[in-house]
Homo-oligomer: A and B are copies of this chain.
């Protein structure tokens, strides 16, 4: 049971393990972090050898000898306890691994944060690569769902009140549209966000023999990253920008999750997540079918969003480097990356496994006895008596209905201003939701064509 100790929070606990995307979790684990630092050191040496700054041999020796699997983690922990430094003990192990000669050129001209920042950029780039197909799947699932329910009428609601009919496909098309915009923002941010920052201790490339900018550019090219213009260590706008898009994407996901929780409510019951035998909702209420997936998704999305303020605050960095801010940002970035991918993955599942009840949608549409179509009647009336007067009439009738004066269709056809211009049959047709779906279907059709 010893592994249950130290298992606080979302990332180490057995209670949350199944919430998280395994590859994303692995990508931001201690092991992958160490591996990425080593990868950067090797790549840096290579770029420096290419510039003639250090011997090619040294660079090759490093590449051949150092690796995360060769590390002694126990010694690493001891070293950190003694030096109070997160990187120097690792450096010492790498020096031993590659032998004295090559070790002489290890970490040449770099400072710890250069390695950390560049390695973070690299892992963010990989996280991005991991996320893209998943968000594509979510967008595709939304497409299928939008198409399938393109013409299924449902109550549109504003401020909690029935407003006008939509179709369920229209609702989903709007989600898809927003998800696409978010994906576009994510891709746009990725163009500039992943920066190599190899300017040394204060960003001036002081220890690179005048070849610092060239080294950084070669390194960037090698790693598929962007070279930081003026690589001062107190700039963190690249990762901040990228994470800000994730925080925005999380609002979209949370909105969808909350909508599913709502649609699955006992009184609404229009859509929800699939149930499987053995799924248990409550230790005491055996009937419960909770929107568990959607709730967990909402937790994930909020957990992404809430960390953004930490990243933003940590962009205020003092002078040429600020370790407090760095630690805060690095922690939040890692957590957001894992939570973000996990959130997308679960969104795709939720959309795929959604169960939809068209009959319930119809039943709910009907509960207002036609009031939900008051605009339809108003617009017809507006053609005859003007929009303003039509609104006045409809207000009078619709409120009377709600005060118990009678049915909507009946009171309408009895109203002096209405009965002269609209027949009972016309009114009856206007009160059928299917006749007043506007351009819902066309919106779906156009949306799913967009890539």
Chain B residues with Cβ below 8 Å from A312 are: 247-248, 251, 305, 308
Docked complex Cα distance between A205 and B202 (Å):
43
Between A255, A376, A389, the greatest number of chain B beta carbons within 10 A of the residue's beta carbon is seen for A255
Whether B387 contacts A202 by the Cβ 8 Å rule is: no
Whether B159 contacts A106 by the Cβ 8 Å rule is: no
The answer to the question of A334 belonging to the interface, with a C-beta cut-off of 8 Å to chain B, is: yes
Chain B residues with Cβ below 8 Å from A248 are: 237, 240-241, 244, 312, 315
Say which residue of B88, B282, B391 sits within 8 Å of A201 (CB atoms). Answer: B282
The answer to the question of A156 belonging to the interface, with a C-beta cut-off of 8 Å to chain B, is: yes
**Interchain nearest-CB distance for A277 vs B (Å):** 7
Among the 9-residue stretches A133-141, A344-352, A363-371, A417-425, the one with 4 or more Cβ atoms under 8 Å from chain B is A363-371
Asked whether A286 and B391 contact (CB < 8 A) given A202-B163, A237-B182, A319-B160, the answer is yes
**Interchain nearest-CB distance for A312 vs B (Å):** 6
**Interchain nearest-CB distance for A175 vs B (Å):** 9
Docked complex Cα distance between A402 and B274 (Å):
12
Docked complex Cα distance between A302 and B306 (Å):
14
Whether A284 contacts B25 by the Cβ 8 Å rule is: no
The quantity of this chain's copies bound in the complex is 4
Docked complex Cα distance between A92 and B437 (Å):
28
Whether A158 contacts B205 by the Cβ 8 Å rule is: no
Docked complex Cα distance between A295 and B80 (Å):
16
Say which residue of B162, B284, B298, B379 sits within 8 Å of A375 (CB atoms). Answer: B284
Chain B residues with Cβ below 8 Å from A264 are: 160-161
Whether B258 contacts A156 by the Cβ 8 Å rule is: no
Please, which residue of chain B has its CB at the minimum distance from the CB of A441? B204
Chain B residues with Cβ below 8 Å from A166 are: 202-204, 320
The count of chain A contact residues (Cβ–Cβ below 8 Å) is: 196
Please, which residue of chain B has its CB at the minimum distance from the CB of A383? B104
Please, which residue of chain B has its CB at the minimum distance from the CB of A202? B156
Asked whether A280 and B11 contact (CB < 8 A) given A156-B319, A204-B440, the answer is no
Say which residue of B12, B14, B86, B100 sits within 8 Å of A76 (CB atoms). Answer: B14
Chain B residues with Cβ below 8 Å from A7 are: 11-12, 29-31
Whether B9 contacts A29 by the Cβ 8 Å rule is: no
Asked whether A162 and B372 contact (CB < 8 A) given A244-B244, A295-B324, the answer is no
Please, which residue of chain B has its CB at the minimum distance from the CB of A107? B283
Whether A323 contacts B290 by the Cβ 8 Å rule is: yes
The answer to the question of A144 belonging to the interface, with a C-beta cut-off of 8 Å to chain B, is: no
